[in-house]
Amino acid sequence: MRSLIGLIPLLTAGLTIAAHYLRPPRAWLIYLFKPLTTLLILAVALAPGTFLADRYAGAIALGLAFSLAGDVWLMLPRNGFLPGLLSFLFAHVCYIVAFLAAPLAPGSAWPLLLLLPISGSLILRYLWPSLPPSLKGPVSLYVAIIALMATLAVSRAMTYNDAATRSAALGALLFFASDAALAIDRFRQPFALAHVVVLGSYFVGQLLIALSVGR
């Protein structure tokens, strides 16, 4: 049943993406459907009713609430990038708290897991010449935190290897990819399908993380 409910935010996510490509873009559709999509994903995470009793569920729900705030900040006509970045930073910290509830993957898996921090470092190096000086520190911290979040999610999936942990790990990887694409489009090399790539991977990633609650 929750999987069927999860189709609703995919519909509103599609409307959000489509609104960016209308000519002219329909800002009111974006303002309506983008936060609504994240709100619906939050509802999916809250549906099992365990967010007050279970540390994992509570941390994921709080992370989605911070993500909702980040969505709103990044939509504003004025420059809300830094507050949005901070909101998503707190979201990733919440996810880290959730994923730390599991033992770490065996030591033999860590050479593979280190690919995520290495990828984050390479992306940061690529972005560095184009980042405003005032954002170099915050973006560096953000990259480190999201790389840690995704690494812990994959480590957890390697430890338990069940539907819930695999869903959360894939969601975390998509979130990582979404933020990388967003940063490249914003600071280094804009590309035509940015909204499809960034928002598509972001919303699907968040939904997969939400669906991991209570499974």
Taking only Cα atoms into account, the Rg of the chain, rounded to an integer number of angstroms, comes to 17
Summarised one tens digit per residue, pLDDT across range 34-45 is 999 999 999 999
Summarised one tens digit per residue, pLDDT across range 101-149 is 767 666 656 777 788 999 999 999 999 999 999 999 999 999 999 999 9
pLDDT at 151: 93
Q: How does DSSP assign 130-188, residue by residue?
A: GS-HHHHHHHHHHHHHHHHHHHHHHHHHHHH-SHHHHHHHHHHHHHHHHHHHHHIIIII
pLDDT at 90: 98
User: Which pTM value belongs to this model?
Assistant: 0.93
Both structure tokens of 35: 């936060």
Both structure tokens of 211: 């669906």
As for how many domains the chain has, the answer is 1
pLDDT at 105: 65
Q: Identify the domain containing residue 195 by its residue range.
A: 2-211
**Separation of alpha carbons 81 and 195, rounded Å:** 16
